[in-house]
Amino acid sequence: MQESYPHIDKVAIYGSTHKVGFAEAAKELISVLLKNRVKVYLNDKVYVFLSGVGIENLDKCNMLDYNDLQTVDMVFSLGGDGTFLKTSLAVGALEIPILGINLGHLGFLSDVSGNEIVAAVSEVLSNGYITENRTMLQINPAGTLSDSSKCVALNEVVVAKQDSSAMIQVNANVNGEYLCTYRADGLIVSTPTGSTAYAMSVGASIVDPESKVVVMAPVSPHTLNQRPIIIPDDRTIELKITGRCKEFMLSLDGRSYRCPIDTKISIKKSVYKVMVAKRKGRTYFQTLREKLMWGMY
């Protein structure tokens, strides 16, 4: 965790325009930023949507392009966890701090609730913020997918059977050493950030995001002795997927692709990271208690 100070002159806003209350939340966010003399750039989809609903101050904002993105001090993600994941993909290797504003149900990655936008953003602009560096996973070689820029994941990489009729077999090696063959509906390879997402739903442990580890967790294993395992994140994980079906599903943070059976996938820690921005005084354990009701009774 690293403390940062308020040198925020230029920001970009991404968001899910279909979320209930998006227009009003965007209006509040833009208003407080402009009031503090911050230059505002809007992702093209956000700009077009807000143009259609006719919010005030839109004429004082700019439509974002990649050159602009390289110069902003902070990115705001206005939506839920899915929006945050898409925003982190858009930011990519630029490693710009991302502050999430939650308009969804859980919003585990988002530090700010939709009903506290003005107060929270004013606090960040005047008092600074902290950042947490979150590990990303990289699929290698990039040719596994047609678009190499999308071969990264902040939460998890998942291989899964395509239909409900038959399991798949996942032969797993770690740094060239055979680990095991998972006979299951799928396998999750998760970062610490993703440990509170899909991995948690299959019984894997919650992992502090600053831990330098990767979680491997089978989905509905066909033998009870195949349990989630945690390994150091400097290891290379190699998977070969076999089975009776012709294809399986490969998912990176919910982005799904069909791949032919017998495909080999190599997964390792990306050289890039995601910088999650938070207000000062906010901690991961506090988030666990408040949003997951962790340890409550």
Hey, how many other C-beta atoms are within 10 angstroms of the C-beta on 196? 25
Beta strand 129-140 pairing with 152-153: antiparallel
Q: And the tokens for 248?
A: 């399986």
Task: Tell me which of 44, 81, 111, 185 is the catalytic residue.
Answer: 81
> How many whole angstroms separate alpha carbon 15 and alpha carbon 225?
42
Instruction: List alpha helices for the chain, DSSP H.
Output: 22-35, 44-53, 66-69, 81-91, 117-127, 198-201, 284-291
Rounded to whole angstroms, how far apart are CA atoms 219 and 184?
Answer: 6
Dist. CA 185–CA 169, nearest whole Å:
8
How many CA atoms are closer than 13 Å to the CA of 156, on its beta-carbon side?
A: 24
Residue 81 catalytic? yes
Rounded CA-CA distance 81/256 in Å is: 17
CA distance 140 to 279: 35
**Catalytic site residues?**
81
